[in-house]
Amino acid sequence: MSLTGFSLSGGDRQFLEYRLRTRAFPQTVLLAGGDEDERLALAKYLANALVCTGTGTRPCGVCRACQKCRSDSHPDIQRFGPEKKNGVFKVETCRAIRQDAFVLPNDGDTKVYILEDCQCMNDSSENALLKILEEPPAGVYFLLTCSFRGAMLPTILSRAVTITLSGSETPFSEQTLQTAAQIAAALCARSEWALLQTTAPLERDREETGNVLLCLAEIFEDALRVKSGAAARGRSGEASAALAAQFTKPRLYALLEAAQKLSAENDGYANANLLLTGLCYRLYRATEQHT
């Protein structure tokens, strides 16, 4: 099987192929969207490629490591997840993973952790995992699977390259995409006036405000992804690339966090104008923080 067998965008597939070929694979990758079986299948394929000892295309399918992967018996590929369907991914599990990551591999010099259903982690679990993702040991890789990337804390997202399987993107309208892109452009230009002008029409449509905030969060997430060396996505690629070129990772993270918080608070604002004022203030403030 090759990566063409998975429902990936051309950009994501080319990114994975290039990183596997050049032996420069990111140490943390989040596989989001699609169905549960396909996410796991992709994680196992990538894990196989990472431990493969063949000299050509990986996974080669014939080396000793690939033979072990085929029977799910490779000692340096470990799988973790909730103890039962839709259960909690326990903080104790994340702590055990963090400790085990510093133990040397059994075969070769590579260890891979497949963490399934990470949407079942609570904040405590994600924060426990974050400590090892910030500075993973050399040769240790984490493949996280998640039903949708928005379920993860921004701190996790900022340290992972997100690969999206088909079926997970929200179907935003062209108007929503355009408004979100204009807000991103105003932030890149550091123009409060442009930001106010772009958001003014949203005062008449609370539902559209919510859609724009969700779309903005996706753009900021994608910008973090670009900052980590991945290709920009098609529908928000231009805005994401511009943000990645303009801002540091901490600032992009601050923008993502602001958009997600505003999205969660949208229904709580009785006054639409107050919401938009807060939106402009918080987003613009995020561009000036975390230098």
What is the 3 state secondary structure string of the chain?
CCHHHCCECHHHHHHHHHHHHCCCCCCEEEEEECCHHHHHHHHHHHHHHHHCCCCCCCCCCCCHHHHHHHCCCCCCEEEECCCCCCCCECHHHHHHHHHHCCCCCCCCCCEEEEECCHHHECHHHHHHHHHHHHCCCCCEEEEEEECCHHHCCHHHHCCCEEEEECCCCCCCCHHHHHHHHHHHHHHHCCCHHHHHHHHHHHHHCHHHHHHHHHHHHHHHHHHHHHHCCCCCCCCCHHHHHHHHHHCCHHHHHHHHHHHHHHHHHHHHCCCHHHHHHHHHHHHHHHCCCCC
Reported as a pLDDT band with limits 50, 70 and 90, residue 291 is very low
Are 115 and 145 contacting, i.e. CB atoms less than 8 angstroms apart? yes
pLDDT of residue 230: 67
- Residue 189 confidence class, pLDDT cut points 50, 70, 90: very high
* pLDDT at residue 179, as a whole number: 93
Q: Are 273 and 203 in contact (CB under 8 A)?
A: yes
Q: Where are the domains of the chain?
A: 3-165, 174-285
- Given 3.40.50.300, 1.10.150.530, 3.40.50.2000, 3.40.50.1580, which CATH number is that of 3-165? 3.40.50.300
pTM for the structure as a whole: 0.64
pLDDT of 286 above 80: yes
CB 26 within 8 A of CB 19: yes
Candidate from 135-144, 207-216, 228-237 with smallest mean pLDDT: 228-237
pLDDT of residue 113: 98
The mean pLDDT of 194-219, rounded to a whole number, is: 86
Instruction: Please determine whether the domains at 3-165 and 174-285 fall in the same fold group of CATH.
Output: no
**pLDDT for the residue 268:** 60
User: CATH assignment of 174-285, given 1.10.10.60, 3.40.50.300, 3.40.190.80, 1.20.272.10?
Assistant: 1.20.272.10
Give the model's pLDDT for residue 48: 97
Mean pLDDT confidence for 229-238: 70
Percent pLDDT > 70 in the chain is 91
Provide mean pLDDT across the span 44-59: 94
The whole-number pLDDT of residue 290 equals 46
